[in-house]
Amino acid sequence: MQFDCGSFFKAVSDGTRIKIMKLLYGKEMCVSEICTHFKMKQPSISHHLSILKQAKIVTDRKDGKEVYYSLNKCCVSSCCQDFAGMFKNGDKKE
């Protein structure tokens, strides 16, 4: 399995992180730009980003002083698909 569904579901069980994912759905963003959408402090955002990164939900790239994060969309769909597959309903007609 390419992605760890365990860390995936822990990562997406938090509202702040879901909101970050929504922000990154449209475009990549640097940390300070992400911060402007929240009341919490920058280190907290960095912490959430590191959890998302560990779960491979986001990737990062450095550009000068900034670090840009972007959403790894295929991780989201893969994990959801794998998980749903484990609990597939066999009663429905295919």
Partner DNA sequence: ATATCATATAGATTATTGTCTATATAATAT
Partner DNA sequence: ATATTATATAGACAATAATCTATATGATAT
- Interface region with DNA, contact rule CB under 7 A, candidates 9-17, 20-28, 75-83, 84-92: 9-17
Cα 46 off chain centre by? 13
Whole-number Å distance between alpha carbons of 19 and 91? 35
Task: Find the binder of DNA among 6, 18, 25, 40 (CB under 7 A).
Answer: 40
Q: Assign 3-state DSSP to the chain and report helix, strand, coil percentages, each to 5.
A: 55, 15, 30
Site for its own copies contains 83 (CB under 8 A): yes
Whole-number Å distance between alpha carbons of 87 and 79? 13
- Interface region with DNA, contact rule CB under 7 A, candidates 19-27, 42-50, 70-78, 79-87: 42-50
Which of its own copies, DNA, none sits in contact with 1, Cβ below 5 to 8 A by type?
Answer: none
